[in-house]
Amino acid sequence: MKLTRVFAFMALAGLAGSAFATNGMFSHGYGMKSKGMAGASTASSDDAFGGANNPASMAFVGNRIDLGADLFSPIRSSKREGSAGFAGVGDPGRDYSEDSESDYFIVPEFGYNHMVNNNLALGVTVYGNGGMNTNYPGNAINSGVTGFCDADRSNTFTPADVGVFNGLCGQGKLGVDLMQLIIAPTVAYQVAPNHSIGVSPLLGYQRFKAEGLQAFGGISSDAANVTNRGYDDAWGFGVRIGYLGKITPTVTIGAAYSTKVNFQEFDKYKGLFAEQGNMDLPENYNLGVAWQLTPVIKLAADYQRINYSGVAAIGNPSANYLIVGGAMGLDNGAGFGWDDINVWKLGAEYKLSQQMVLRAGYSHTDSPIDGDDVGEATFNIIAPGVIEDHITLGFTYTTASGDEMTMAYMHGFENDVSGPNPLMGGTDTTKMYQNSLGFQYSWKM
């Protein structure tokens, strides 16, 4: 019966995909216990989410199933100030401010672990990523008769430049929807007492669509495959490896490394993403330590590095469209200009009683979007991964049967990034804050 629930939940996860993005494209944590501690979990072995955190931890997890879901609410907005319009003939009074209309998402996840013997564990983790999900209305700019937008990218005032446009001078609603699902079968083995290694092949599926980017056709190598092509999907593969060691009775260390998850190209959007529609999940690694300070207090700290620059569609400078060979869709085509980031995570756990464990955490990173690149703030109106600071709270209650109920809350503090608009003048600003509330039920077998 429990395995039936697992496979049903896997199907649900595959259908739901993800809109989760708190550290750029990545969640602040995976599994509710990790999320309650701001993601500080590399040196912990509390649940079956090792395929997302540290595969080696599964050797110490025992037999269990973890099923969870987050209600995730990212509140995004954009604005433009001081615009002059195309070629300076527009009305500076046509600045705008608008909010993304998609504010709530359900993000499921699950983990399963089975101890083959005292040293060998086999399991699977299913989780989601996202990072570029926005939905802005299509009536941000009314160009009147002055041609505020160069909607057809002709560099000449034409009748096509008169009308009602979205914030990037396209037609209709403006936004993108990127959903990523990762299935991570995991094997972990204790190579020595209290020391384990683990490996998780990462089987990826992603789905994407873009709307309202017609104005980008003029800077694309393939204008027919930039926007409004409906959903496209792609499969990918990578691997995560990890180590966990209990070096003293109270101190545990951990490390994990994930290769880039290489996906197939989005053929319908090969004029939007660099390298002919290639959108990979970037390489990343994390280091962690956990200290059982007292029998009831545990402290944990993680460092994570995410190398966005290794994915051309994400890391290429937005200003590349200004150089020869930099048209969107080419290998050196304009991207979102995201920088590599370092994420620092701190968590604390307090055992209030035999049944109740309380958690809290804080994490900090620098936004991968800094706005310094020409056009970077403009491009990232549709991909506003700007959150830098999170706080989290959580708890686990153990029932009389030994099952667990875990909840976690996250608040991502509001942050914004501004930069010059190279096409219409003025300054573009994108802003976001986030909340999530998640619940997980765990069976121990």
CA dist 55 and 201 (Å) reads: 10
Q: Which two tokens stand for residue 84?
A: 């002059």
Predicted local confidence at residue 124, as pLDDT: 97
> What is the pairing mode between strands 120-129 and 427-444?
unpaired
Predicted local confidence at residue 326, as pLDDT: 85
Q: What is the pLDDT of residues 238-281, one digit of tens each?
A: 999 999 999 999 999 999 999 999 999 999 999 999 999 999 99
Distances (CA, A) of 31 to 48, 266, 309, 355, 358: 8, 30, 27, 19, 15
φ, ψ dihedrals at 186, nearest 5°? -135, 140
Q: Rounded to the nearest 5 degrees, what angle is found at the Cα of 38, between the Cα atoms of 33 and 42?
A: 70
**Contact indicator for 205, 235 with CB cutoff of 8 Å:** yes
CA dist 416 and 371 (Å) reads: 10
Q: Which residues contact 320 (CB under 8 A, 6 or more apart)?
A: 326, 332, 333, 334, 335
The position carrying tokens 């990037």 is 168
Q: What is the pLDDT of residues 65-93, one digit of tens each?
A: 999 999 999 998 888 887 765 555 545 55
Nearest alpha-carbon partner for 52 in 70, 24, 27, 21: 27
CA dist 151 and 275 (Å) reads: 25
Where the chain has pLDDT below 50, the residues are: 1, 4, 6-18, 90
Structural domains for the chain: 2-79+96-138+176-444 (2.40.160.60)
Classify burial at 139, counting beta carbons within 10 Å of its beta carbon; exposed 0-12, middle 13-18, buried 19 or more: middle
Helices (H) and strands (E) counted in the chain, each on its own, are 5, 18
Predicted local confidence at residue 13, as pLDDT: 46
DSSP type of residue 116: S
Distances (CA, A) of 414 to 76, 270, 320, 360, 411: 10, 33, 29, 19, 9
Q: Mind spelling out the 3-state secondary structure of 34-46?
A: HHHCCCCCCCCCC
What letters, b where the CB count within 10 A reaches 16 and e where it falls short, cover 362-377?
bbebebbbebebbbbb
CA dist 414 and 384 (Å) reads: 12
Predicted local confidence at residue 382, as pLDDT: 86
**Contact indicator for 444, 61 with CB cutoff of 8 Å:** no
**Contact indicator for 56, 243 with CB cutoff of 8 Å:** yes
CA dist 336 and 241 (Å) reads: 29
Q: Report CA Rg, the chain.
A: 23
Note the pTM of the prediction, 2 decimals: 0.91
Nearest alpha-carbon partner for 65 in 17, 15, 4, 111: 111
Predicted local confidence at residue 1, as pLDDT: 43
| Distance from the Cα of residue 37 to its chain's centroid | 18
Predicted local confidence at residue 209, as pLDDT: 94
At 101, the amino acid letter reads E
SS3 314: helix
Q: What is the DSSP string of 207-266?
A: EEEEES-GGGGGGBS-GGGSS----EEEEEEEEEEEEEEE-SSSEEEEEEEE--BEEPP-
